[in-house]
Amino acid sequence: MTNFLPALYEGHAPITLQNLFREALEAYEDWDEGMPEPMVSYEGNMLPISDVFDWMKPCTDIMPANMIGIVTDRLSKPWSGRGPLDEMTFSTAARVMAVLVRRRLRRFGRGSVETFVDRFNQRLHAE
């Protein structure tokens, strides 16, 4: 489903993909417990935030400082980067966020249109 997203070039993401990652972070931040997984739009296509995080796992670009807080606020241990400015790559952030999304979905179920369709189809087959 994410084949319409721009490819990384030698581990680097185009700015449009970095902006989409920011939107996915913000959508996660606004995600209320028990609600369906947030979706973000890219060039008229809607995709779950987990797809954005998965797509960015190989990205070696350093995240802007103003985005790091959204990720580090959710960690159970304080973040300590390797560099003097506690740099974090998109790859690290994407991996952390992918785990957080999976945990939330596991706790509350998918809560998405897919779940509705699955339940609807199960009722049709039961009747």
State pLDDT tens for residues 14-42.
889 999 999 999 999 999 888 899 999 99
Give, as one character, the DSSP assignment of residue 117. H
What is the per-residue pLDDT for 118?
58
What is the per-residue pLDDT for 75?
74
What is the per-residue pLDDT for 1?
46
Token pair for 124 = 């049709």
What's the pTM value of the predicted model, to 2 decimals?
0.76
Share above pLDDT 70 across residues of the chain, in percent, rounded to a whole number: 74
Reading phi first (left if > 0) and then psi (alpha if -120 to 50, else beta), residue 38 is in: beta
Residue ranges in the chain modelled with pLDDT below 70: 1-3, 76-86, 109-127
Asked if 59 contacts 90 with a C-beta cutoff of 8 angstroms, the reply is yes
What is the per-residue pLDDT for 125?
55
Asked if 94 contacts 54 with a C-beta cutoff of 8 angstroms, the reply is yes
What is the per-residue pLDDT for 117?
59
